[in-house]
Amino acid sequence: MVIVKDIEIFSLCEHHLLPFFGRCHVAYVPTEKVIGLSKIPRLVDVFARRLQIQERLTTQIAETIMEYIKPQGVGVIIEAKHLCMIMRGVEKQNSVAVTSAMLGVFKDCDLTRAEFLRLVREKS
């Protein structure tokens, strides 16, 4: 399993035109092809640097990795604070939205998914 965690993300909510920001964790289990570690944050930025919603961002990252390098599986978790929730509307200062996309062995194998979740929670 290859994991790049705590990737900083910044994006702009397409519904409210307000920023959201946080961390992204990406893992994949390679088959034959591996990619350079820096390619994962670059891919995250490609999708984050546009009008976006967090749910779609999470899915786009996972599906793109699955399509192009055809690993056994991909897991993506995003934890983000949304200014639309912090400064307007419900005004909840400490709320964090968490989204995940699990494909392949991350969806089908409890042990693989549990290992990913455990490793993401561990402090570096």
**Catalytic site positions:** 13-16, 54, 82, 84
Helices (H) and strands (E) counted in the chain, each on its own, are 5, 5
Q: Which residues contact 95 (CB under 8 A, 6 or more apart)?
A: 81, 82, 85, 86
Structure tokens of 103?
């494909």
DSSP-H helix ranges across the chain: 39-48, 54-69, 83-86, 105-108, 110-121
Helix (H, G, I), strand (E, B) or coil at 77: strand
